[in-house]
Structure 1
Amino acid sequence: MSIKRNAVANYVGQIYITLAGILVVPLYIHQLGMEIYGLIGFFSILLTWLQLLDVGISTTLLREAARYRADREQNPWFPSLFATLGKFFLISSAVLVVMGWFASPYVASHWLHAKTIPHQDLVIAVGIMVLTAAIRWRIGPYRSVIVGYEHQVWLNALNLVVITLRTFGAVFVIRFASNPVIFFFCWQLLISLGEAFFCIRKSYQLVPKSDRNTRVDNLKGVLKPFLRFAVGAAFSSAIWTFISQIDRLVLSKTLPLATYGSFTVVATAATGIVMLSSPIMQAIVPRMTGMRTKSENGEQETLKLYRWTTQAVSIFMAPLSLTIAFYPTQLIWAWTQNAQIGEQMSLVMTLYALGSGVQAIVGLLYNLQYVNGNLSLHMKGFTLFAIILIPLNIFAAIHYGALGTGIVWVAQNIFYLLVWSWIVHRKFAPTIHMQWLTRDVLLIWAVSACVTFLTLSIPFEWNDNRWLNLLYLGLIGFVNLVICCLLHSKVGDYLKNVTFRRLNLRGER
């Protein structure tokens, strides 16, 4: 499979998913109101926290699928392992649904502060949320196998259909629904069932039944290192979820549901920033894992690809994050046409945009450890961070609201970039740290910041035309992106080669 084709497919798919999530926000707010939109924000938080129950299996399964595809003779037990884990997820999903239905009345009554949604509708909506979340969690291992086999073009095609139905299809459904709250979440459940069917079918085609039924003499012995790595991945995922999502969970409890709906607009933008970095990582991680598995010069090739990936992520993240951070009010108004959200959340948007852009870079540090199959440093470091940051985020959310959590979000990600990166690289890539930090990250962000700052002096006429405002913002981001692209090493090498080739041709003449 072509890594470029997978990366392009991932970016096309992720950009569409992100844009769909962004474009549908004003439609949801207009048709449902801020309180029901806040309930949708709570649903997103539920999906995120449910990933903790994955216990690292999906992440580890992706790595093992990539290793099996790279060298089947060294990993003949993977199909049997995949079949065993499928049964585990099926049983766990059923238990989760039962527990969720029992907990729904408590969540509706004591956690969510709704004023206009009928209580019985709220209870039913939360119950359907749990069922939908369980199905989407159940899909995780199958999606990991598809990614590990690098069939990412197919997966992105499915994502385009699913996201279209999940977002714009939902807008159409609730427009004609007598009870929009119930119909919205029932529609999400229906789409999730269809997505599960196609993902399971595809993964079973990649790992056919004859392979899954092959007996492995020492499967328990194989499971030990797998589970050891899975526990490490699960612990790391749990710690990261607590650190990065505890603010949103606490705010869903402390804020009125309508105000939480306003914050969800900011959270959607921040999540979109991070999501735009995931396609290239999704394409790169299986390839880096394969390099480490079968290449004689695997470490050198892996670090070279790691640096190129860092530059690519920086080039996409810096213009996007900084444009949002410099123009939060204009963006929020053009996006939602709700001036109140802009007044409440403009500074919060700036903080979360900057923090999320840096966080996308920091995520590469985890991937470096993941590819090397050693998460012990990550576990130790983030255990310490959790002890400090979880209480700090709770305190900030309770006493200072979204503004307080935004300040903590920026500060912690800057610390990861400047300090934690040095600790990780000292163990896994001691020769590249200063070049990685200065050349691959800070240089690109500094250039992007200068370009964005200079645009403030351009006399744009921000007015009541939302499309004109979006055009201005798009032009600012696009010009910034083009300039930053010139800073990538491969682009620079290409331009040098073209220049020297032309000079040589002129010399020969």
Structure 2
Amino acid sequence: MSIKRNALANYVGQIYSTLAGILVVPMYIHQLGMEAYGLIGFFSILLTWLQLLDVGVSTTLLREAARYRANSEDNPYFPSLFASLGKFFLLTSVVLVVLGWIFTPYIAEHWLNAKTLPYRDLVIAVAVMVVTAAIRWRTGPFRSVIVGYEHQVWLNVLNVISITLRTFGAVFVISFAPNPVIFFFAFQLCISIAEAACCVYKSYQLVPRAKRQNHSAELKGVLKPFLRFAVGAAFSSAIWTFISQIDRLVLSKTLPLSTYGAFTVVATAATGIVMLSSPIMQAIVPRMTGMRGKKEQGEAETLTLYRYTTQAVSIFMAPLSITIALYSGQLIWAWTQNPQIVQQMSFVMTLYALGSGLQAICGLLYHLQYVNGRLSMHVKGFSLFAIVLIPMNIYAAIHYGALGTGIVWLGQNIFYLLVWAWIVHRKFAPTIHARWLTRDVAMIWLVSAGVALLTHLVPFEWDQNRWLNLLYLGLIGLVNLSVCCLLHTKVLEKIGKGLFKRTSLRSES
């Protein structure tokens, strides 16, 4: 499978997903109101926190699937391992739904600060959320197998279809529904069931029943190192979820649901920034895992690809996050046409945009450890960070609201880039850190910031027409992205070769 084709498919799918999520925000607010939109934000938080129950299995399963595809002889027990883990996910899904329904009345009455939504609607909506979240979480292992086998074009086609139905299809359904809130979440449940069925069918095609039923007597011996790695991945995932999402969870409790709806606009943009880096990770990580397993030149090839990937992520993240940060108020107005959200959240958007852009870069540090199959440093480091950052986020959310959590978010990601990256590279890539930080990250971000600042010299009347605003912001981002693309090593090599050929031809003539 081609990395370029998979990366392109992942980016098309992720960009479409992000744009769809952004475009439907004003439609949701118009159709449902700010309180109900805050309920959608709570649903997103629920989906994120439920990933903790994965206990690292999906992440580790992706790694094992990539290893099996690269060399099935070195990992012959993967199919039976996949079948055994399916039982674990089925059982925990049932337990999850039962527990969720037990706590649904408490969440509706005591957690969500709703002023206008009826209590009955809140209870039904939360109950349906729990079932939908359980199904989407249950689909995770099947998606991991599909990604590990590098069938990512197929997966992105499915994603585009399901996202279209989940977003624009939902807007169409609720526009005719007698109870828009209940119908919205019921429709999400139906789409999740269909999506899960497709993923199960595809993964079972890749890992046929005959192979899955070939249980080996030595499977218990295989499970031990698998579970050891999975526990490390699970613990690191749990810590990271607490560190990165505790602010949103606490704000969903402390803020009125309508104000939390306004914050959800910021959270949607911040999540979109980080998610735009995930497609290239989906394409690169399986390939890096396969490279690292080679006996000859494996480490050198892995580090070269790691640096190229860092440059690519910087090239996409810097123009996006810097443009949003500098034009946050104009973007929110053009996006929602809601002056209240602009007043409340414009500076918060700036903080979260910059922090999320840096987070996309720092996420590469985890993947470097992941492909080496050694997560102990990540677990120890983020255990220490959690001791400081979780109380700090809770305090900031309670006393300073979204502004306080935004400052903490930006500050912690600056620390990851300047300090944590040096610690990780000292162990896994000691020869590349200085070039990684200066050439692959800082240079691209400084050039992008310079281009974005120059655009302030262009006279433009904001807040007159939302579509002209969005068009101008899109042009700023596109110009910035084009300039940054010229800084990638592979692009510079092609330009250098082209100039060399022209110079040779002229000298010969």
Q: How many residues align?
A: 509
User: Equivalents in 1 of 2:295, 2:183: separation in Å?
Assistant: 52
Asked if the contact 1:70–1:293 (Cα under 8 Å) also holds between the matched residues in 2, the reply is: no
In the TM superposition, residue 339 of structure 1 has moved relative to its aligned partner by 1.0
CA displacement 1:347-381 (0-9 Å, x = unmatched):
00000000000000000000000000000000000
Q: Is the 8 A contact 1:324 1:353 kept in 2?
A: yes
Aligned with 1:294: secondary structure? coil
Q: Could you tell me how far 1:460 is from its partner in structure 2?
A: 1.1
Tell me the equivalent position of 2:94.
94
**What's the TM-score, normalizing by structure 1?**
1.00
Q: How far 1:295 sits from its partner (Å)?
A: 5.2
Structure 2 residue aligned with 1:449: 449
Structure 1 distance, partners of 2:426, 2:293, is 22
Residue 241 of structure 2 is matched in structure 1 by 241
How many angstroms apart in 2 are the aligned matches of 1:445 and 1:322? 9
- Alpha-carbon deviations, 1:133-152, whole Å to 9, x = none? 00000000000000000000
Distance in 1 between residues matched to 2:403 and 2:115, nearest whole Å: 24
| 2:128/2:189 contact within 8 Å kept | yes
Percent sequence identity over matched residues?
78
Report the equivalent of 1:403.
403
- The amino acid across from 1:160 in the alignment is V
- Pairing 1:19-168 to 2, within 5 Å after superposition: 19-168=19-168
Q: Is the 8 A contact 2:273 2:357 kept in 1?
A: yes
Runs of 4 or more consecutive aligned structure 1 residues displaced over 3 Å after TM superposition = none
Alpha-carbon separation, structure 2, partners of 1:282 and 1:460: 39
Tell me by how many angstroms 1:327 deviates: 0.4
Deviation of the 1:293 alpha carbon: 1.7
Is this contact kept in 1: 2:333–2:463, CA < 8 A? no
Look up the match of 2:6. Answer: 6
Distance in structure 1 (CA, Å) of the matches to 2:339 and 2:115: 22
Native 8 Å contact 1:62 1:147 kept in 2: yes
Q: Deviations over 1:47-83 (max 9, x none)?
A: 0000000000000000000000000001000000000
TM-score, normalised by the number of residues in structure 2: 1.00
Alpha carbons 2:334, 2:463 under 8 Å: kept: no
Unmatched segments (≥5 aa) in structure 1: none
1:325 match: 325
Q: State the distance in 1 between where 2:444 and 2:433 align.
A: 16
Amino acid at match of 1:261: G
How many Å separate the matches in 1 of 2:428 and 2:235?
Answer: 20
CA contact (8 A) 2:330 2:463 kept: no
The aligned counterpart of 2:385 is 385
Task: Please give the per-residue CA displacement for 1:285-344, whole angstroms capped at 9, x wherever unaligned.
Answer: 000001112352110000000000000000000000000000011000000111110010
Task: Quote how far apart the aligned CAs of 1:458 are.
Answer: 1.1
Q: CA RMSD in A?
A: 0.5
Do the aligned partners of 1:292 and 1:302 also contact (CA within 8 Å) in 2?
Answer: yes
Amino acid at match of 2:99: M
Q: How does 1:200-211 map to 2 (within 5 A)?
A: 200-211=200-211
* Alignment partners' CA distance in 1, 2:28 and 2:326: 26
Asked if the contact 1:174–1:180 (Cα under 8 Å) also holds between the matched residues in 2, the reply is yes
Q: Which amino acid aligns with 2:260?
A: Y
Unaligned ranges ≥5, structure 2: none
Q: Which residue of 2 aligns with 1:254?
A: 254
| AA matched with 2:108 | A
Aligned to 2:336: 336
Q: Deviations over 1:448-499 (max 9, x none)?
A: 0011111111111213210000011011111000000010000000000000
The residue that corresponds to 1:493 in the other structure is: 493
What is residue 268 of structure 2 aligned with on the other side? 268
Q: Would the alpha carbon gap of residues 346 and 501 (structure 1) be closer, same or farther in structure 2, given more than 3 Å must change?
A: same
1:217 is aligned to: 217
Checking the alignment, whether the CA contact within 8 Å between 1:14 and 1:275 is kept in structure 2 is yes
